[in-house]
Amino acid sequence: MSSERVAWLVDQCIAYARAHRHPEFRERTIWEQFEAERPSLVRYAGRFDGFHAVPASVSKTCLVRFDNNRYSVSAHAVGRPVEIRAYADRIELRQEGQVVGDHARCFGRDQTVFDPWHYVPVLARKPGALRNGAPFKDWVLPLGLDRVRRKLAGSADGDRQMVRILTAVRSDGLPAVEAACQEALRDGVHSADVVLNILSRRREPTPPVTILTPEALRLRHAPVADCTRYDSLRRAV
């Protein structure tokens, strides 16, 4: 709802409260009774975090079942229970206080909701799943990553190279990896070694600030390079 509509609704509520008697205290209007009770009202503490929480187990395929549907979680969550927090519009999956999955809530039956990034660690063992695995079907990647993926598809070890690039997202972040892919493509290359080298260079610390020489210590006459001086020294010896 837009802010204009909210403001209009508030104005209408106040107008109604000023014009109508309170149902219990007939000698006052609803607004007058509200003003009398205002000092006793509890301060607003923020949005109410309303959810239905239930425990659940994680399958070997990184899936959690809830309300006749399945939702993926991060691969590292396999083998330990999770807490499902079911909101009106989304499903949040937590393990030891950490969010390991977050999906829009599905209200159908027997549907599986994947987040492909949950399965990237698994690709290190099964890189071929990148082409055939259900979580990666119709996976929409950022433009640079997608172009690199399509170019590597023609290589014998293209899947393995792409997995190395995708794995770097966990340590460097998606924007950094996407930027590295774009830079590699501009240079006409697309191998994993090049992309990872670009990322490595960008992780290097910035050089320290050069110390400024005080004016009092500056040379009045800068030395002139003269290699012939070495010849004169040699002859003197």
Taking only the tens place, the pLDDT of each residue in 180-228 is: 999 999 999 999 999 999 999 988 776 776 778 788 888 888 788 887 8
**pLDDT digits 0-9 by tens, 152-182:** 988 889 999 999 999 999 999 999 999 999 9
Q: What is the mean predicted confidence (pLDDT) over 12-23?
A: 95
CA distance 19 to 32: 10
Concatenated DSSP letters of 209-221:
PPPPPPGGGS-SS
pLDDT mean across residues, the chain: 91
Q: Where are the alpha helices (DSSP H) in 23-103?
A: 30-37
What pLDDT is stored for residue 62 in this prediction?
A: 96
Q: What does the buried/exposed string (b/e) look like for 109-134 if buried means 16 or more CB atoms within 10 Å of the residue's CB?
A: eeeebbbbbbbbbbbeeebebbeebe
For 6-40, the DSSP string reads HHHHHHHHHHHHHHSB-SS-TTSBHHHHHHHHGGG
pLDDT reported for residue 72: 97
pLDDT of residue 89: 93
Q: What is the pLDDT of residue 232?
A: 78
Residue 51 Rama label (left phi>0; alpha psi -120 to 50; beta): beta
- Checking if the pLDDT of 1 tops 70, the result is no
Within 13 Å, how many C-alpha atoms sit on residue 94's CB side?
12
Q: Is the pTM of this model over 0.85?
A: no
Highest mean pLDDT: which of 120-124, 144-148, 200-204? 144-148
Q: Give pLDDT, residue 236.
A: 58
Tally helices (H) and strands (E) across the chain.
Answer: 9, 7
Going 94 to 95 to 99 to 102, the CA torsion angle's sign is negative
In the prediction, which pLDDT does 237 show?
A: 56
